[in-house]
Structure 1
Amino acid sequence: MNEVVPIQNKIYEIRGQRVMLDRDLAELYGVTTGALNQAVKRNSERFPTDFMFRLTDTETENWKSQIVITNSITKGLRRNPYAFTEQGVSMLSAVLKSPTAVQTSIAIMRAFAAMRNYIASTTTVTAELSELRAKLALLERADTDNAEAINDLSEDMRRELDGIYEAIAALSVRIPRAQPPRRPIGYKK
């Protein structure tokens, strides 16, 4: 039973936990839902509330709407299904005691592990993307600040250049100065 993807499609998040429902587990183990639930009831001490719980009416309705449940499935749904956590699924292999149950349990545990790894890797990637977005935002702000500084510098530079041009213009204007009288050119008489 190496079909991890179909098993992952049967893992739901209910009450903040990843769980599998009794009807899906019964199908995977090759038994009826009634037989699976009967085995669980006979070994109830092995299934504390953190291993297994029954869905409420609201949770069942939400589950039905999530998977767009067909009439053929709803006809067989007389009671709210039981939800088994990863530990509860592991305990099922000890209760059902068949070679198929053991192999199915191994495949299910691998599916849970694959989901944990996927969630962990996507969480890491999401964190890295958030960090990159923050750095990009800082760079954009710095770029805007630099552009404003250049504009301010350009305005200051223009003022200074205007002052230099005025000084050069002032220097190039000749101020007539009083010159001592010249001696006439030529011979003396």
Structure 2
Amino acid sequence: MTSKTALIVIEQIEPLIKTVRSQKVILNNDLARRYGVPTKILNQAVKRNLDRFPEDFLFQLTEAETDGMRSQFVTASKRNVRHLPFAFTEHGAFMAATVLNSPQAIEMSVFVVRTFVKLRHLVLGHQELAAKLNQLERKVVGHDESIQQIVDAIRQLTTAPEPEPRRMGFHTIRNRSERQK
């Protein structure tokens, strides 16, 4: 496959990857379609080789998670789903290709893994960006406080002290020097 074709395949796989239980996963029906096998065959191969799929490779969605996923797709309906779907992580998708042992599954597994890696790099980039934004925000807050202190100091220097209010009534001159003024 050329690099242009590989990029197209990765772009086709990327929307199939969902976030479930804070993990990036691809559902069994999407993975089976990419591997060129019926979902039933993929599920059978997984069930025959469950020892190859620890919890961080594969987990089965709950009914609530399945309903949540179904609500994202307007055309999906309950009658098409007899069993709760499996969710494959990056490593689980690769392991599924090895248990299927078909040339198309092995070839496509490379693209699936590359897509997961691409998404992981995007997430890491966003985390670094968020950390830098937090750091800048802290600096700006510190600068705001410093600027406010400077403005307060300038105001104190520029405001003249208020003159003493003149007392009302008759004023006497106490000494001669004041009389000459």
TM-score by length of 1: 0.77
Is 1:84 the counterpart of 2:88 in the alignment?
Answer: yes
Distance 1:5 1:141 in 2: 47
Tell me the equivalent position of 1:68.
73
Partner residue of 2:59 out of 50, 53, 63 = 53
Distance 2:112 2:66 in 1: 22
Render the CA deviation track for 1:103-144: whole Å, top value 9, x for unaligned: 110001100100110000111011111111221122122112
Deviation at 1:68, TM superposition (A): 2.1
* Secondary structure of residue in 2 paired with 1:12: strand
Tell me the equivalent position of 2:153.
149
The one-letter code sitting in structure 2 at the alignment partner of 1:154 is T
Distance 1:11 1:107 in 2: 12
* Secondary structure of residue in 2 paired with 1:9: helix
Distance 1:34 1:106 in 2: 22
Tell me the equivalent position of 2:130.
126
Distance 2:79 2:150 in 1: 68
Tell me the equivalent position of 1:102.
106
Distance 1:52 1:127 in 2: 31
Q: 1:123 to 1:104 in 2, by over 3 A?
A: same
Q: 1:154 to 1:145 in 2, by over 3 A?
A: same
Distance 2:107 2:78 in 1: 29
* Secondary structure of residue in 1 paired with 2:145: helix
Distance 1:58 1:45 in 2: 26
Pick the structure with greater CA Rg: 1
Q: 1:54 to 1:69 in 2, by over 3 A?
A: farther
RMSD over aligned Cα atoms: 2.2
Deviation at 1:74, TM superposition (A): 4.3
Distance 1:76 1:30 in 2: 19
Identity %: 36
> Could you tell which deviates more after superposition, 91-100 or 40-49?
40-49
Render the CA deviation track for 1:142-168: whole Å, top value 9, x for unaligned: 11211111001123xx34xx8xxxxxx
- Structure 2: state its 5+ residue gaps: 164-177
Deviation at 1:28, TM superposition (A): 0.5
Deviation at 1:93, TM superposition (A): 1.5
Tell me the equivalent position of 1:34.
40
Distance 2:103 2:44 in 1: 19
